[in-house]
Amino acid sequence: MPPGARCSRSKAEVVFRVMNVLLAGRIVCGAAALSLTSVKRLIGAPPRQVASALTYLSNEGIVCVDRRQDIIRLTDRALRELTG
């Protein structure tokens, strides 16, 4: 695969990667929210797959996406459920 190419991933894998990046950002960096642009880059999936995963997670009440401010974060409810 050429450098910079993005391979297709399953929806479940993309959803998992988004949540993993958000949790790691919260735990390692103490970041309540991350740049949406950075998260998309870290996921390593085609933009359409990332958008689909973000829509799913948002509809499920797991993430909040603010495209105007270019940020994404876990909802308070999701953070409580994921971190106990």
Amino acid identity, residue 46? P
* Structural domain includes residue 22: yes
pLDDT digit string, tens, across residues 36-56: 999 988 888 888 999 999 999
Q: What is the CATH number of the domain that holds 72?
A: 1.10.10.10
* Structural domain includes residue 1: no
Q: Which domain holds residue 26?
A: 11-83
Residue 6 has pLDDT above 80, yes or no: no
Rounded CA-CA distance 16/55 in Å is 14
pTM of the model as a whole: 0.81
pLDDT value at position 29?
A: 80
* Structural domain includes residue 6: no
**Higher confidence at residue 21 or residue 83?**
21
pLDDT value at position 30?
A: 80
Closest C-alpha to 24, from 68, 65, 82: 82
pLDDT value at position 79?
A: 85
**How many domains, in total, are found in the chain?**
1
